[in-house]
């Protein structure tokens, strides 16, 4: 049997969508420095943790108690609490923990992962921070998203593979603020992009 020579260049690509290369150049003139998590990220993380561990379970418990008492009142008629009933109630905290873990697992992403990916960047000059923020907004307008890697490229910093996977799709409420470490762009928590 004769062998047929295969031309590799004629084979179709296995890429579903060609990735358009972004044209990103360094736009900063002064120095930049980073701090993992930073003060603003720490405050966000504390607020999120308190909300998830205290407020949501308390609201769920209150709602469960309210609905349960309402059903008992409908079934029994009148007051749901009998004279001999105790008001104390056992709370199964392991159930709430398991429910929260399941809910988090269904998203396919772990919230704490981005905390290790993103570092606050402090600029020596306000103009540099405003230029970087403006360019990030342009990237979102053009590509519908901008990554942490794009931010690092604009600031003249190195990035890695993970930085290209997390970013933002909306930066309209982001501002530049002056801190003791320099000028900081107050980015929201980055989300998984690709």
pLDDT of amino acid 41:
55
pLDDT of residue 60: 87
Q: In degrees to the nearest 10, what's the CA dihedral of 73, 77, 83, 85?
A: -40
Residues 6+ apart with CB under 8 A from 169: 140, 144, 145, 191, 193
Name which residue leads in pLDDT, 118 or 167. 167
Tens-place pLDDT, residues 19-67: 566 778 888 888 888 875 545 555 666 666 677 778 888 888 889 888 9
Statement: residue 103 has pLDDT above 60: no
Q: What is the pLDDT of residue 49?
A: 67
Residue 88 pLDDT grade (very low, low, confident, very high; cuts 50, 70, 90): low
Q: Has residue 111 got a pLDDT over 70?
A: no
Grouping H, G, I as helix, E, B as strand and the rest as coil, residue 52 is helix
Distance between CA atoms of residues 101 and 149, nearest Å: 30
pTM listed for this prediction:
0.52
The kind and range of the H/E element at 91 are none
The candidate with the shortest Cα–Cα distance to 120, out of 193, 181, 59, is: 181
């Amino acid at each position: 049997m004769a062998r047929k020579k295969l031309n590799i260049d004629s084979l179709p690509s296995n890429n579903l969508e060609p990735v358009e290369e972004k044209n990103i150049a360094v736009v900063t003139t002064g120095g930049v420095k980073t701090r993992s998590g930073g003060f603003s990220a720490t405050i966000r993380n504390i607020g999120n943790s308190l909300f998830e561990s205290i407020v949501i379970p308390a609201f769920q418990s209150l709602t469960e108690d309210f609905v349960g008492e309402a059903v008992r009142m409908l079934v029994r008629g009148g007051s749901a609490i009998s004279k001999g009933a105790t008001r104390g109630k056992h709370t199964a905290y392991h159930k709430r923990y398991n429910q929260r873990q399941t809910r988090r697992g269904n998203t396919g992403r772990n919230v704490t992962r981005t905390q290790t990916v993103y570092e606050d960047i402090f600029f020596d000059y306000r103009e540099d921070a405003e230029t970087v923020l403006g360019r990030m907004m342009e990237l979102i307008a053009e590509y519908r998203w901008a990554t942490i890697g794009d931010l690092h490229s604009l600031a003249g910093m190195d990035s890695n593979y993970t930085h290209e996977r997390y970013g933002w799709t909306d930066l309209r409420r982001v501002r530049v603020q002056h801190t003791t470490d320099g000028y900081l762009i107050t980015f929201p928590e980055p989300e998984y992009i690709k």
